[in-house]
Chains A and B, each alone.
Chain A
């Protein structure tokens, strides 16, 4: 395995330099990740300290009101709060007290910073400290920023997890730590497979109960389930964890490599890995075959959005036979993407950052068969005759692991099949 990674790494030189763009971006801010984080940790509440815009964003990004009483809300700053900061702190205390009274089941409260709270320099770290004293023993108050001037979309999860890390107990125990939100069922399945491989202790961050944080320390080997956790990875490494380098668990190949990398880190014999995973691989490929038929040879353009673009491009090109026109990413973390970049077909054009008008112009020139993009752009592109896939759907759907590879491919095949199925002649 190690040698193959080495050869792959050198392949990265086959990629032309990424196009660096700056201009209008069409990316949600980090507040958006609240929408899946609050499902993951039902005993946590996310209180955005921000503006009416922030409140409107999470409401709109989540679709109008999926949950009658959601586990997130916004403390909307008003003119009075802007006039004097002391006032804003008192107001925040009052709101938090009110909220906790209303929602006694909350165990962890995240104060989530926004652009307005950052710009007026409302110190949420201090506020969290103060509130922790006020509500000691009742609730844990944490803070992070999901502001759009600092974070895009999935970086919100990176921030939330980093806020949890200082609270994780220390332990030298040998264990595998999976970081990144997974769907519960997928997580159970993956943990089951790690057990089969002989990795006994598997913990995850975020946990399903916000109060049951896993331990971390020199015995911890860290495996990232999501590619957007740069800060989290760094913070866990600082706590003694060792990062397992691997592609991300999307598709048959990526998922196998991901698990195999963990197994190798735990000294599991390759034979055992093959014994456990090869039947899954074989089955996964069989399930994938019909999707591949739809997708093979189709040209794909990924606009930057969720930071999943590079792993998805790798999966769709290598396993589904799609041709990559351009792979956009909000930012390029070369370290965390090294294994993925090595697997991209040579010549793949990456773009980093965004200038949406220029990108759309390239999309129009290239007329790809499928465009992966954010919610705001999809219908206009459909109206121009291009099939689209919402990238946010990929963060909500259970797509990790070998068993999900066909489902993942199906998400991309469906818009193409649909176009084919429609006729108004």
Chain B
């Protein structure tokens, strides 16, 4: 048993719904009690879709438990097939149905639907979660549809450069974008354009917008692009093993990763690397100029971004990308990196290690909040959960990952990937911070009567919250540390946006030196110590 207040991921059958709802011509019969239909609102409200997800719930009740739940399953399946005429049927159960063991998949298989592909989803609800469920469903569905095309064992691998002999442009599949993923719709458009500009075509995008017949065309591509490893990782590995399809695994979020992605793909497809992707003498390649991020980041106004301390938390893909962009492309200092995606913990640990950090792998948002408080960053890049935690702590925050909120599904075009994605990222991460001279002006006019402490005109939310309630046991009081009145007064002179950090550093310094009282001297000692 595990105590949860808020969760980052839903149950695995919600992951399965994400696949079904992302596609056309697929229907999902879910053996589940009535309350589980809440999941519909994830799609119609959060993702703001104009139609219901293609899911039929059996909505069994206690009085059905006597024994005819299996009948109910069969009736629901028959109704759904007749009403929706799907091209492929997913059959599965939610946590409660798993316990009563009706085996809806087996029931469906015995109902004689001819050649309607039926995928029996067995998603262990008590040990797995949403992203795993999505990945497994996507994989099971494709595997089922591609069964007739499976190459005989030992047959030669397809040549990724066969496009040349076939006299056509190379083509790839974009795998993994789904509903309730972070900005998937826009990423697909961005990456499709990006590839087109380098002479590559997209064969199949899946699951988003695909039909079962599209999935059957997957092997016609020369390579796969694993755009969202959380959803497509399992499938891409299987396609690699069974169909010998090569796969680009770099996720093109950020300038460096977009360049690396293009180089990887050119390599896999044996395409000649165009001059603009070759590094120049200064290591910079021409293609970078297609985004404004590198120039904006070098511009003088961005000087204030230098060394800003950021805390990164999200799904593995976006967290890793954010850490890289923050540290290399924006000149921030990453002071925390973590994920709730246990399946990809290894990758996140490696990325953290590169930054000299230990990754935080947790799905307890309070642990994450405590880690943020501890790191005292100036910016949080996180999920909706961290947005709330950051608000409580009075720290600006930008959302970079699922789980999402309706406001993370914007009306405008706002990809995360490719050149335009980098522009979007620059804007959305920098806006919560203070721009350029503003920081100095605030310092200068701090005593102006019109300038209420903490008021930042463009940060609608006004003053940062009062100091967070004690999070850990080592508060100054607990350790007998005290600020003298004069020390407090000196501290108050420090601009509010760094005051928290200064207070923390000074207290740490005082503890280290065994000081009992912090006065202005101690404050300046600490300042000197930390600015070395």
Contact = CB atoms under 8 A, between A and B. Distances in A.
Interface of A: 23-32, 51-57, 59-61, 64-65, 68-70, 72-79, 81-82, 88, 91-92, 94-95, 98-99, 115-116, 118-120, 147-150, 152, 357, 374-380, 382-383
Contact of A29 (B5, B35, B46, B127): B35
A382 B61 CA distance: 30
Interface string B387-415: 01101100000000001110000000000
A236 B229 CA distance: 56
- What 5 A-B pairs have minimum CB-CB distances, sorted nearest first? A29-B35, A148-B35, A376-B40, A383-B50, A148-B33
Contacts of A55: 4, 6-7
Interface of B: 1-7, 9-11, 13-14, 33-42, 44-46, 48-52, 56-62, 64-65, 76, 79, 83, 94-96, 99-100, 124-127, 129, 366, 384-385, 388-389, 391-392, 403-405
B1 A27 contact: no
Contacts of B58: 24
Nearest to A78: B126
A65 B1 contact: no
A52 B125 contact: yes
Contacts, number: 192
Contacts of A24: 37, 56-59, 76
Contacts of B100: 119
A23 B58 CA distance: 7
Contacts of B62: 118, 147, 149-150
A95 B44 contact: no
Contacts of B385: 65
A55 B44 CA distance: 19
A376 B44 contact: yes
Contacts of A76: 1-4
B11 A79 contact: no
B410 to A, nearest CB: 16
B65 A149 contact: yes
B10 A379 contact: no
A57 B35 contact: yes
Contacts of A118: 62
Contacts of A120: 99
Given A152-B34, A380-B44, A53 B3 contact: no
Given A119-B99, A375-B45, A376-B39, 8 more contacts: A23-B59, A26-B37, A27-B34, A68-B392, A70-B6, A72-B5, A95-B3, A119-B96
A154 to B, nearest CB: 12
A53 B10 contact: yes
A366 to B, nearest CB: 19
Contacts of A73: 3-5
A148 B126 contact: no
Q: Which of A51, A82, A91, A115 has the most CB of B within 10 A?
A: A115
Contacts of A82: 99, 126
22 contacts: A24-B37, A25-B59, A29-B34, A51-B126, A53-B36, A54-B35, A55-B4, A55-B7, A60-B10, A64-B46, A64-B384, A64-B404, A76-B4, A99-B3, A147-B33, A147-B35, A148-B34, A149-B65, A150-B61, A375-B38, A379-B49, A379-B50
A116 B97 CA distance: 9
Contacts of A377: 40, 44, 52
Contacts of B5: 69-70, 72-74
Q: Which of A28, A68, A72, A116 has the most CB of B within 10 A?
A: A68
